[in-house]
């Protein structure tokens, strides 16, 4: 019974991490709509947290992941970090306090227009 549980945890955690990775890569397409972006972020975070829990359980049950008994715990920590970072919605916010290239081009065009008048 314990070996079946370990096998199920191994397959489920790898599958969830894979789905989260695919959604993470598709976030640009899904972010065309704000609701789609927020929903995707929540799904990715949920999948990462659930797979992190499964990976911790897998580690403590003595299961192997890709032939290693020590890799599940670091991957669980990475999954938690990805979940937290995935929920940080910085779209449209000036994080660094600097202008982006598009804003710089607009400002230069506006300056040229003002100088020509």
Within a 10 A sphere around the Cβ of 32, how many other Cβ atoms? 8
79 touches 17 (CB < 8 A):
yes
Query: Looking at the whole model, is its pTM more than 0.85?
Result: no
Query: Rounded to whole angstroms, how far apart are CA atoms 114 and 20?
Result: 49
What is the tens place of the pLDDT at every residue in 86-105? 777 555 444 444 555 666 77
Dist. CA 56–CA 35, nearest whole Å: 32
Q: What are 14-33's pLDDT values in tens digits? A: 888 788 878 777 777 766 77
Distance CA 36, CA 31 (A): 6
């Amino acid at each position: 019974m314990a070996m079946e549980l370990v096998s199920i945890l191994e397959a489920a955690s790898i599958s969830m991490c894979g789905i989260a990775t695919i959604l993470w890569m598709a976030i640009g397409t899904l972010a065309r709509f704000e609701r789609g972006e927020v929903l995707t972020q929540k799904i990715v975070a949920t999948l990462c947290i659930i797979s992190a829990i499964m990976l911790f359980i897998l580690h403590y049950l003595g299961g192997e992941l890709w032939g290693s008994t020590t890799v599940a715990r670091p991957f669980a920590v990475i999954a938690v970090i990805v979940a937290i970072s995935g929920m940080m919605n910085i779209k449209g916010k000036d994080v660094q306090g600097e202008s982006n290239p598009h804003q710089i081009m607009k400002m230069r065009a506006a300056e040229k227009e003002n100088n020509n008048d």
